[in-house]
Amino acid sequence: MREFKELKELKENPSIEKGWDSKRKNLAIMFPNLYYGGIYSLGPLIIYNLVNGLKDWNCERRFLDYSDLKGFEFLGFTFQYELDYFNFFKILDKNNIPREKEKRDSWKIFFGGGPAVSLNTAPMEEYLDVFFLGDCEDSLVEVLDVYSKQLDEEGKENFCKKSFLESICNIEGVYVPGMTKVKSYGVVNLETAPYPLVQPLPLEENDEFVFGKSFILELERGCPFNCEFCVIPTTSGKFRYRSVEKLKEIIDDGLKINEREKVVIYAPSFVHPKQKDILQYLIDKKLKFSVPSLRAEMVDEETLKLIGLGGQKSLTIAPESCERVRFDIGKQVKDEAYYSLLEKAEKLNFKKIKMYIMIGFENETEEDLVEISKFVKHCCKLFSRKISLSINTLVPKNTTNSNKKPIDKKLAKAKFKKIKELLKDIGPSGRIKIKFSNINSSAIEGKLSLEEKSL
């Protein structure tokens, strides 16, 4: 974690101002990392809009560099990555909040959500009272209603946390350590779920804010594919998407509220059956937009033309490995699909390709590393402009079917060294850049994902 400057206040627009009401309860949703990245996180925005839509509740967003938690009854933490657990402790310490649940005020409830704890609650069970697994739009409202009624009846001095937790432990998608017998995941209907239309951004921005003044548009959740290494089927449930009509309504209302000129599309696999209609609608409204990583086998030239018309100059793909390993882990996409996409991207004058590769899959051989290098080199021949290649170690997750063994750091370093050697003549450094992930950080992340006890 780099050095950061503590923010004194958040100067943002737009924001939800509800005014003072002594009877209103207060919830803080904390993104346990820095503000410049957290403002684009969809989870806190969903909770911010959802809770502020309740008459008896007020919600504010907090970040690692803006972490004042005074005056909140309900304190939530969204964990996108396991390494953010360490920031959780920093935030507690900065606010003089005891790490042990038993030493805190009984009427204050600490909860967690997000992909990391949806996969494995064990590391944080000693520090959080309740977890929201999967989608929380329905379960959070129900939990807050139970809490509000009990707090009004008993008051802060007599509030019984044990009784409250017993009352909510069997709600779908809610997990209370020691009480919930069977874990379940919340899954909402995207067509009827409330959308976070109010998306605050800083009045003054700089290059750190990578998406600039954009409106976040979530098309879909879940994924129709079954790649063995992927956690999305566990954390997001079955594949769901919003209708074109609903998305048009969200775009129109969201842009009216936020006054943005660009849209950032959120989609785990970006395979909405009407994706072309959606992109064309954005173009017709003279909006710039960016799309997520593409499934090479599902993108035709017409889609790429639309992406280019939306102002995006780079494309992202994730081949993961060589073709043999790719098929072995359930990502059944042939090399030829990637080659075809790159040929189209070259023809349509895209300026950059971002490519993601992973090493460390089970049964991976040295020959597979050679095949990866051949694949990458051929991609570089097909696309003559900039290529950014990111090579990462597979981080084991406890709910996936792929490798669940802790990362062997010595072996991972040897494989990185081998790939560096194989790619040493890949081309001019100005055109092709290779970045390797931090093996030590990946190893810690993997260990936390597999951990069976609290930190």
Question: pLDDT tens digit string along 221-277?
Answer: 999 998 888 888 878 888 999 999 999 999 999 999 999 999 999 999 999 999 999
Name the band, by pLDDT with cuts 50, 70 and 90, for residue 1.
Answer: low
Q: Judge whether residue 392 has pLDDT over 70.
A: yes
Query: What domain range includes position 434?
Result: 313-455
Q: What is the mean pLDDT of residues 423-430?
A: 80
Among candidate residues 140, 175, 210, the one where a domain is terminated: 175
Name the band, by pLDDT with cuts 50, 70 and 90, for residue 403.
Answer: low
Number of folded domains that form the chain: 2
CA angle, 269 as apex, 356 and 116 as ends, to 5°?
A: 75
Q: What is the DSSP letter of 363?
A: T
Residue 287 located in a structural domain:
no
Residue 413 located in a structural domain:
yes
Residue 278 located in a structural domain:
no
Q: Which residue has the higher pLDDT, 208 or 336?
A: 336
Question: What is the pLDDT, as a whole number, of residue 404?
Answer: 78
Q: Whole-structure pTM over 0.85, yes or no?
A: yes
Q: Judge whether residue 192 has pLDDT over 80.
A: yes
Question: What is the pLDDT, as a whole number, of residue 401?
Answer: 63
Question: What is the pLDDT, as a whole number, of residue 397?
Answer: 87
Cα(256)–Cα(164) distance, integer angstroms: 40
Cα(315)–Cα(394) distance, integer angstroms: 22
Question: In CATH, what number is assigned to the domain containing residue 450?
Answer: 3.30.750.200
> Is residue 294 classed as helix, strand or coil in its secondary structure?
strand
Question: pLDDT tens digit string along 5-28?
Answer: 788 888 999 999 988 788 899 999
Cα(286)–Cα(128) distance, integer angstroms: 45
Cα(269)–Cα(42) distance, integer angstroms: 16
Q: Judge whether residue 387 has pLDDT over 60.
A: yes
Question: In CATH, what number is assigned to the domain containing residue 95?
Answer: 3.40.50.2300
As a whole number, the mean pLDDT across the chain is: 94
Name the band, by pLDDT with cuts 50, 70 and 90, for residue 208.
Answer: confident
Which residue's structure tokens are 């990245």? 37
Amino acid residing at 255: L
Amino acid residing at 324: R
Tokens of 406: 């802790």
> Is residue 96 classed as helix, strand or coil in its secondary structure?
coil
Question: pLDDT tens digit string along 430-447?
Answer: 799 999 999 999 999 999
Residue 123 located in a structural domain:
yes
Residue 193 located in a structural domain:
no
Long-range contacts of 21-24 (CB under 8 A, 24+ apart): 21/58, 23/56, 24/56, 24/57, 24/58
The least confident of 86-100, 132-146, 222-236, 325-339 is 222-236
Among candidate residues 130, 145, 175, the one where a domain is terminated: 175
Q: Judge whether residue 37 has pLDDT over 70.
A: yes
Among candidate residues 146, 175, 204, the one where a domain is terminated: 175
